[in-house]
Amino acid sequence: MRWEILTHRYLFLFSIAFFSSQLCAESRLFNIQIQDGKVPPSERVMRVKKGDQVIWKIRSDAEGELHIHAYQIDLTVKPGVEKKHVFTAFATGRYRVEWHPENERGKGIHHQESLASFEVFPN
């Protein structure tokens, strides 16, 4: 009997912790404007919390690929066309957001300076 009470109590506390962290999750929208391979200083750091829904709206003046290795996100962006991508921030840390213009593919140019940083904090 005592074991059942303790088990139920722990399950209840776990449920509260799990669902309260889910209720705290937010939707975070980032408008990423790439011009000449760069973004404005105000867009260079994107901060979210673990569990947040992240919405990227990306525009560029040139074709290229935007990616984050740790999140396995690889997006092809066409010039003048908005690319929307939605994902959940699942891993905490600081990640490089990289931009590879189409005209540099196949030239051995890889992993130059980051376009921006994506920072995910614990809840």
Q: Which residues contact 102 (CB under 8 A, 6 or more apart)?
A: 62, 63, 64, 65
Q: Which residue has the higher pLDDT, 1 or 46?
A: 46
The alpha-carbon radius of gyration of the chain (Å, integer) is 19
Q: 3-41, pLDDT tens digit by residue? A: 566 555 655 544 554 544 455 689 999 999 999 999 999
Q: Which residue has the tokens 């984050």?
A: 68
Q: Where are the chain's structural domains? A: 25-121
CATH superfamily of 25-121: Cupredoxins -  blue copper proteins (2.60.40.420)
On whether the CB atoms of residues 53 and 26 are closer than 8 A, the answer is yes
> pTM for the whole thing?
0.75
Q: What is the pLDDT of residue 103?
A: 78
Measuring CA to CA, which residue among 77, 71, 79 is closest to residue 54?
Answer: 71
Q: Which region holds residue 111: left if phi is over 0, alpha if psi is between -120 and 50, else beta?
A: left
